[in-house]
Amino acid sequence: MALNSIHWFRKGLRLHDNPALREAVQGAATVRCVYFLDPWFAGSSNVGVNRWRFLLQCLEDLDANLRKLNSRLFVIRGQPANVFPRLFKEWKISRLTFEYDSEPFGKERDAAIKKLAMEAGVEVIVKISHTLYDLDKIIELNGGQPPLTYKRFQTLISRLDPPEMPVEMLTDTLMGRCVTPVSEDHGDKYGVPSLEELGFDTEGLPSAVWPGGETEALTRIERHLERKAWVANFERPRMNANSLLASPTGLSPYLRFGCLSCRLFYFKLTDLYRKVKKNSSPPLSLYGQLLWREFFYTAATNNPRFDKMEGNPICVRIPWDKNPEALAKWAEAKTGFPWIDAIMTQLRQEGWIHHLARHAVACFLTRGDLWISWEEGMKVFEELLLDADWSVNAGSWMWLSCSSFFQQFFHCYCPVGFGRRTDPNGDFIRRYLPVLRGFPAKFIYDPWNAPESVQAAAKCIIGVHYPKPMVHHAEASRLNIERMKQIYQQLSRYRGLGTRSENINLYGEEKPQSGKRVREGRLSERAVGLVEEDKGPRHEHNQRWCLSPRGRVGWKVSFKGGCGGRAGH
């Protein structure tokens, strides 16, 4: 019986270091690489044009590279659960392979597909290659709970065996006698759609600052390593005005989509370090970017409510304000604070902002100034940010809003001062907010303080051509720090900075009796460092599967045959 296999691309959009893909090809007569896309869904999803474009470019690149091996990419319109049974029959499939997806709804989806496959007599092979390590092993090593501090995470990592080596790129030799039957009308049936076909208006759309695809990713990583070697310094570079701009050696979106293997990056970094430093053991800080990503994946993998405040065992319940107008101003770069607005403009236009810029806007939205929920900010990033996937995005937002991970809430970023210290001349502002170009460096971060004559000379009157600042920062931050303190003080026994001085209990001699408060304290105890990680406290672990990520038409509905759900990655 001829072995016909399907390799299912979701993330891992690459031919190098793809062990699951190799399994598909190994000893198979035919192989077909598929990617599922639901065009109906594209228009209504919370994913912006830059992310769609990046994805389509990744798929085009995959298709082009597969062509070199006499194969093609099959882009299937529809949802996996609906379409797989038909494909199994039509193509007489006996093997299905895919890269392991650690995210909770990914695991749920894959479990359903495995069941379908089993019923159809299809062997399923899953390989880990999106993360450096087997995340379940990290959790096991930590007594069954994911580490909630980066330090603890690093400690656990250092006890594990190093990551597995990346496997070879798929070549003609490796393909061997395996072929891909391609029909005449492959382009019509299974071709990569264009942005227009997905319903986007591309008129006037500027070219991509971050072009998608494995080919681009591999070029970039060489450039990235060249630059590191030239600098011969593996320390974290000092932040300057240039760091804010998109770099041709930037890698985060490629890691997110899997165009670049994290393991390949890891080993290339290690090799380079050893060569340059003639030292055999690189410090963990060398892999900073990769390990943060791994940390959030680990924290999220068993927590379907990781992206929510309610019902999330590691998230502190903070009484965020509901304020759609304020949120819109932030999202649309109309806050009146040039530093914030320039960053949000870059984000919307290009799809990437520097991590310190992310800190600045996240702090401004949540605990710094607007006191709006981190979940709202997370949704905006999900739409606009190329490298934001579920785990990393939610985790970072919780971190930056001091909702979890033992964060000190006094680290506040000033929307005027922080920008000024980073880029004193204000070039970044002028680049993304041309309306403010005429302002001198002295006033470009707080143009509302500029005398009328300066505003007139700049041909930009604040309140007319550019909004007035939407909050009074000193007052807002004073209030918000007080709010954070109130919350943290209520979490029993928290004695971090900013709360130590206030010992006297509001209730005087009598202890508060509301059972509710006691419970709340316990729920959040892990989140705020009251119980040492090593001891692994009791806490209510919410095992309910979340029906749908972000509350949209969810996976369960589409399983029954409707449209909707995640667009397959």
Partner 1 sequence: MKRMKGGEEGSDDSSCESPAEVCKKVRKQLSEDSEPEVAESLDCNWARLPQELLLHIFQYLPLLDRAYASQVCRGWNQAFHMPELWRCFEFELNQPASSYLKATHPDLIKQIIKRHSNHLQYVSFKVDSSTESAEAACDILSQLVNCSLKTLGLISTARPSFMEVPKSHFISALTVVFVNSKSLSSLKIDDTPVDDPSLKVLVANNSDTLKLLKMSSCPHVSPAGILCVADQCHGLRELALNYHLLSDELLLALSSEKHVHLEHLRIDVVSENPGQHFHTIKKSSWDAMMRHSPKFNLVMYFFLYEDEFGPFFNEEIPVTHLYFGRSVSKEVLGRVGLHCPRLVELVVCANGLRPLDEELIRIAKHCTQLSAIGLGECEVSCSAFVEFVKMCGRRLSQLSIMEEVLIPDHKYSLDEIHWEVSKHLGRVWFPDMMPTW
What is the amino acid identity at position 192? Answer: V
Closest approach of partner 1 to the CB of residue 244, in Å:
14
Judged by CB, which is closer to partner 1: 203, or 235?
Answer: 235
491 annotated as belonging to a binding site for a ligand: no
Judged by CB, which is closer to partner 1: 125, or 239?
Answer: 239
| Residues ≥6 apart with Cβ < 8 Å to 157 | 133, 138, 284, 291, 294
H or E segment at 9? strand 4-9
| Residues ≥6 apart with Cβ < 8 Å to 315 | 308, 309, 398, 403, 404, 524, 527
Judged by CB, which is closer to partner 1: 7, or 473?
Answer: 473
Closest approach of partner 1 to the CB of residue 104, in Å:
20
153 annotated as belonging to a binding site for a ligand: no
Neighbouring-strand partners of residue 95: 5, 123
Do residues 260 and 214 touch, judged by C-beta distance below 8 A?
yes
Closest approach of partner 1 to the CB of residue 289, in Å:
6
In DSSP notation, 435-500 reads GGTTS-TTTSSSGGGS-HHHHHHTT--BTTTBPPPSS-HHHHHHHHHHHHHHHHHHSTT---TTTT
Cα of 476 vs its chain's centroid, Å: 29
Half-sphere exposure of 410 (CA within 13 A, CB side): 4
Neighbouring-strand partners of residue 30: 4, 179
Q: Which candidate, 85, 82, 62, places its Cα nearest to that of 74?
A: 62
423 annotated as belonging to a binding site for a ligand: no
Judged by CB, which is closer to partner 1: 100, or 418?
Answer: 418
532 annotated as belonging to a binding site for a ligand: no
Q: Which candidate, 196, 3, 1, 218, places its Cα nearest to that of 95?
A: 3
Judged by CB, which is closer to partner 1: 212, or 395?
Answer: 395
With residues binned 3-state (H G I as helix, E B as strand, rest as coil), the percentages for the chain, rounded to 5, are 45, 5, 45
Judged by CB, which is closer to partner 1: 62, or 291?
Answer: 291
Judged by CB, which is closer to partner 1: 84, or 371?
Answer: 371
545 annotated as belonging to a binding site for a ligand: no
Closest approach of partner 1 to the CB of residue 124, in Å:
31
Judged by CB, which is closer to partner 1: 511, or 560?
Answer: 511
Q: Which candidate, 26, 339, 313, places its Cα nearest to that of 5?
A: 26
21 annotated as belonging to a binding site for a ligand: no
Closest approach of partner 1 to the CB of residue 188, in Å:
39
- Residue 520 and residue 536: Cα distance in Å, rounded? 18
- Residue 357 and residue 368: Cα distance in Å, rounded? 14
294 annotated as belonging to a binding site for a ligand: yes
Judged by CB, which is closer to partner 1: 66, or 414?
Answer: 414
427 annotated as belonging to a binding site for a ligand: no
Closest approach of partner 1 to the CB of residue 386, in Å:
12
Q: Which candidate, 199, 265, 277, places its Cα nearest to that of 234?
A: 277
Query: In angstroms, how far apart are the furthest CA atoms of the chain?
Result: 84
388 annotated as belonging to a binding site for a ligand: yes
260 annotated as belonging to a binding site for a ligand: no
Closest approach of partner 1 to the CB of residue 489, in Å:
11
Judged by CB, which is closer to partner 1: 322, or 560?
Answer: 322
- Residue 516 and residue 511: Cα distance in Å, rounded? 13
Closest approach of partner 1 to the CB of residue 151, in Å:
5
Alpha helices by DSSP H, listed for 142-239, are: 150-159, 172-175, 186-190, 214-231
Closest approach of partner 1 to the CB of residue 335, in Å:
16
In DSSP notation, 344-379 reads HHHHHHHS---HHHHHHHHHIIIIITT-B-HHHHHH
Closest approach of partner 1 to the CB of residue 356, in Å:
8
- Residue 272 and residue 275: Cα distance in Å, rounded? 5
9 annotated as belonging to a binding site for a ligand: no
Output the known binding site for FAD. Answer: 289-296, 387-389
Output the known binding site. Answer: 289-296, 387-389
